[in-house]
A and B are shown apart, each in its own frame.
Chain A
């Protein structure tokens, strides 16, 4: 089951090979003004569905990202009750290949552990964007954001604490509807159980 590739040894180009190549580039010069540009079917490619050559003027307009896109990890909280989905189960911290997720479990007055992350921090500067934390999370709390601009003014700002990590569920539902639809049911069911085990007022994001 082998084929021997032909070497065109008998071919005497006399410049024809070059001309053929130039014809290809010339045809592209013409075609590039009429070609239709499509990216993801089912999603509007770019405003107006343009033809031919054009530039996506990046900060103002963006090419759409697929739902599954893996940016940096963020935490979610429920919109109506403002309660955090995270229960400090440490699954993500154990799954992280570089060990950049740091969690401090909350305790009540008598020192008993409660399903609530007192402190939660991710070192964004070292993140691999691998998504293993989001895969490991049984509560649908840690998900991958779609933000592309990750530059920070200083190194300290890359130490992302809980206040800056927390995003509402509605935000994630908007950027990744299909992924959220997969995890929604399980996440909401588990959140109900979590809220029951927490003392009142704990794990609620201030408005």
Chain B
């Protein structure tokens, strides 16, 4: 704990001679997205310290994957961050492709990018809804988000067979080609989405309650954000323009034209705005990828891959920009059909670490908003 981060406690409270009290939020609490416990030390209503307690959702996923072959682990990646299962599949198959030296056909890459960006749209729409939920706008904004999400989930269901546990990507491609009725519906979603974002912004962005609850709350300075290893929209809200899509240029992102939205001071309001702008950029990406997809040969979605993938001994790390941040898979192979080590770099977990620093000095009600603004899925934090 550094000197300048010392807590400002109003004089009057100190004069009263109150003692700090301990308050438990969670593990079962409506505003903790998943099962998460926060141990708060309060002086009056001001946070003195916050201790996050994790592990209530631990499922040994990394160890489970070591007992399975490479293909059998794909359904397990769906269950890391169950809101965006498509972007969980992607870095895992990329890591195995890197390890085994598998080429991916261009159409499969296009489909993967389409799925990634659709996932980003639904995740960010849902994030904004749940952030407002945490502020007390009980369920109205979330209903708007769920309505849009439903259209995207219909697309996922059509292509992969499941709404949430998609299990769609395979080594060297994707599981199935897009069905006939997919493209017209995708076009419709992409055309209608900007109107939805406009409506959402009209409803929320200049709402007085939102401004009062978000502005200058939970500021994360850029140097601290980088020191904590925070990635994704939380880092970009803290003015650091770091996007794995731009840095790594994986898949097709090198040839796509899009901007990286960044914030100005890194408070909750910036995190909200960055996500809203990212939705607009995702729509732009989708429009471009749909053109690229139309140029490719239907059916060319899978390169030749042996039934049981046996990568040569070695290790590989692949990362993508998932809606929550940098999601990476580190795999170590010993040459057998099962991985020797299967490690996930989960953005939710890393982004959760500066929670105490963001909350210190704020009121109890702000903790919920700040926690909501990081956008974590506890299933990914605990794995």
* Residue of B207, B215, B260, B263 contacting most chain A CB atoms (<10 Å): B207
Cβ contacts B72-110/A at 8 Å (1 or 0 each) = 111110000000000000000000000000000000000
Q: A20 on the interface (CB 8 Å rule)?
A: yes
Cβ contacts B243-269/A at 8 Å (1 or 0 each) = 000100000000000111111100001
Instruction: Known contacts A3-B277, A39-B154, A132-B72; decide if A24 and B203 are in contact (CB<8 Å).
Output: yes
Q: B241 on the interface (CB 8 Å rule)?
A: yes
Residues of A within 8 A of B161 (CB): 66, 68-70, 131, 144
Whether A7 pairs with B269 at a CB distance below 8 angstroms is yes
Which one of B117-125, B177-185, B370-378 is at the A interface? B177-185
Whether B262 pairs with A69 at a CB distance below 8 angstroms is no
Please, how many angstroms separate the alpha-carbon atoms of A6 and B71 in the complex?
A: 45
Min Cβ gap B245→A in Å is: 10
Residues of B within 8 A of A110 (CB): none
Which one of A11-19, A75-83, A152-160 is at the B interface? A11-19
> Which residue of chain B has its CB nearest to the CB of A20?
B202
Residues of B within 8 A of A18 (CB): 207-209
Please, how many angstroms separate the alpha-carbon atoms of A95 and B207 in the complex?
A: 52
Interface of B is mostly: helix
Whether B270 pairs with A68 at a CB distance below 8 angstroms is no
* Residue of A5, A66, A131 contacting most chain B CB atoms (<10 Å): A5
Q: B152 on the interface (CB 8 Å rule)?
A: no
Q: B318 on the interface (CB 8 Å rule)?
A: no
Whether A66 pairs with B179 at a CB distance below 8 angstroms is yes
A-contacting residues, B25-77, CB 8 Å: 68, 71-76
Residues of A within 8 A of B263 (CB): 4-5
> Which residue of chain A has its CB nearest to the CB of B175?
A135
B-contacting residues, A1-39, CB 8 Å: 1-8, 11, 13, 15-18, 20-21, 23-25, 39
A-contacting residues, B174-226, CB 8 Å: 175-176, 179-181, 184-185, 199, 202-211, 215
Q: A147 on the interface (CB 8 Å rule)?
A: no
Partner of B73, one of A7, A11, A17, A97: A97
> Which residue of chain B has its CB nearest to the CB of A69?
B161
- Number of contacts between A and B (CB, 8 Å)? 125
Whether B205 pairs with A13 at a CB distance below 8 angstroms is no
Please, how many angstroms separate the alpha-carbon atoms of A3 and B246 in the complex?
A: 14
Whether B261 pairs with A129 at a CB distance below 8 angstroms is no
Instruction: Known contacts A66-B157, A68-B176; decide if A2 and B203 are in contact (CB<8 Å).
Output: no
Q: B162 on the interface (CB 8 Å rule)?
A: yes
Please, how many angstroms separate the alpha-carbon atoms of A42 and B181 in the complex?
A: 7
How many residues of B sit at the interface, in one of the four size bands? 35 or more
Q: A151 on the interface (CB 8 Å rule)?
A: no
Residues of A within 8 A of B260 (CB): 1-3
Cβ contacts A73-113/B at 8 Å (1 or 0 each) = 00000000000000000000001110000000000000000
> Which residue of chain A has its CB nearest to the CB of B160?
A68
Residues of B within 8 A of A69 (CB): 157, 161-162
Residues of A within 8 A of B159 (CB): 68
Instruction: Known contacts A39-B154, A66-B157; decide if A129 and B165 are in contact (CB<8 Å).
Output: yes
Whether B273 pairs with A41 at a CB distance below 8 angstroms is no
Q: B353 on the interface (CB 8 Å rule)?
A: no
> Which residue of chain A has its CB nearest to the CB of B272?
A5
Residues of B within 8 A of A42 (CB): 180-181
Whether A2 pairs with B158 at a CB distance below 8 angstroms is no
Min Cβ gap A82→B in Å is: 28
Please, how many angstroms separate the alpha-carbon atoms of A144 and B211 in the complex?
A: 49
Residues of A within 8 A of B73 (CB): 97
Whether B270 pairs with A13 at a CB distance below 8 angstroms is no
Please, how many angstroms separate the alpha-carbon atoms of A51 and B210 in the complex?
A: 34
Please, how many angstroms separate the alpha-carbon atoms of A18 and B137 in the complex?
A: 12
Please, how many angstroms separate the alpha-carbon atoms of A7 and B268 in the complex?
A: 11
Residues of A within 8 A of B176 (CB): 68
Min Cβ gap B40→A in Å is: 29
Q: B140 on the interface (CB 8 Å rule)?
A: yes
Residues of A within 8 A of B199 (CB): 24
Whether B185 pairs with A2 at a CB distance below 8 angstroms is no
* Residue of B68, B161, B181, B203 contacting most chain A CB atoms (<10 Å): B161
Residues of A within 8 A of B (CB): 1-8, 11, 13, 15-18, 20-21, 23-25, 39-43, 65-70, 95-97, 128-132, 135-136, 144, 178
The 5 residue pairs across chains A and B that have the minimum distance between CB atoms: A70-B161, A130-B75, A97-B72, A17-B206, A5-B273
26 A-B residue pairs with Cβ-Cβ distance under 8 Å, sorted by A, are A1-B259, A2-B262, A3-B259, A4-B264, A5-B270, A5-B274, A7-B264, A7-B270, A8-B211, A17-B208, A18-B208, A21-B207, A24-B203, A25-B203, A42-B181, A43-B181, A66-B179, A68-B160, A68-B176, A68-B179, A70-B162, A97-B75, A128-B165, A129-B162, A131-B167, A135-B175
What 19 additional pairs, Cβ within 8 angstroms, besides A13-B208, A40-B185? A1-B246, A1-B258, A2-B241, A2-B259, A2-B261, A5-B261, A5-B270, A5-B277, A6-B273, A7-B264, A8-B211, A17-B206, A17-B210, A21-B207, A39-B154, A68-B161, A69-B157, A97-B68, A178-B179
